[in-house]
């Protein structure tokens, strides 16, 4: 059975950087898309970035454009979220999600497309 495992979270100061990694294992075929979501305490979950694994097309939430970069390795088993110029409002639990056997449309920045989720990794940005 496949699983997604995130890592790389931590605590940084405003302006710092973190690199989150999502590793997919146990799957027999590639996902159609992978996305990162985040959820801060008391707030709704929001999409951060998505990548179509076949074409490599990426999309970002407006709040992170120019600061975050989503990428994948050649085997398409690892997706990375490079986060720079971090702000306190980026503090949240970050989740990796993948769409296996599901059609993903548009920007891919909607949770409804994704049927596999990781456990999350915490990011804390202090001012």
Residue 120: alpha-carbon gap to chain centroid: 10
Answer for the pair 12, 32: CB distance below 8 angstroms, yes or no. Answer: no
Arithmetic mean of pLDDT, 51-61: 96
Answer for the pair 121, 20: CB distance below 8 angstroms, yes or no. Answer: yes
**pLDDT-based confidence at 114, cuts 50/70/90?**
very high
**pLDDT-based confidence at 74, cuts 50/70/90?**
confident
Tell me the CA end-to-end span of the chain in Å, nearest whole number.
41
Q: What DSSP line would sit under 64-86, residue for residue?
A: TTTTEEEEE-TTSSEEEEEE-S-
- The pLDDT value given to residue 62: 98
Task: State the CB neighbour count (10 A cutoff) for residue 37.
Answer: 24
**pLDDT-based confidence at 75, cuts 50/70/90?**
confident
- The pLDDT value given to residue 28: 87
In this predicted structure, the answer to whether residue 65 has a pLDDT above a threshold of 90 is yes
pLDDT tens per residue, range 28-42: 889 999 999 999 999
């Amino acid at each position: 059975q496949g699983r997604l495992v995130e890592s790389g979270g931590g605590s940084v100061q405003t302006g710092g950087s973190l690199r989150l990694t999502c590793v997919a294992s146990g799957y027999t075929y590639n996902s159609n898309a992978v996305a990162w979501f985040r959820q801060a305490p008391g707030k709704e979950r929001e999409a951060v970035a998505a990548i179509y694994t076949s074409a490599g097309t990426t999309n970002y939430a407006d709040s992170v454009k120019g600061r975050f970069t989503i990428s994948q390795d050649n085997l398409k088993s690892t997706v990375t979220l490079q986060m720079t110029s971090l702000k306190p409002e980026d503090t949240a639990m970050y989740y990796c999600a993948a769409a296996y056997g599901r059609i993903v449309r548009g920007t891919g920045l909607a949770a409804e497309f994704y049927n596999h989720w990781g456990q999350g990794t915490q990011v804390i940005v202090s001012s």
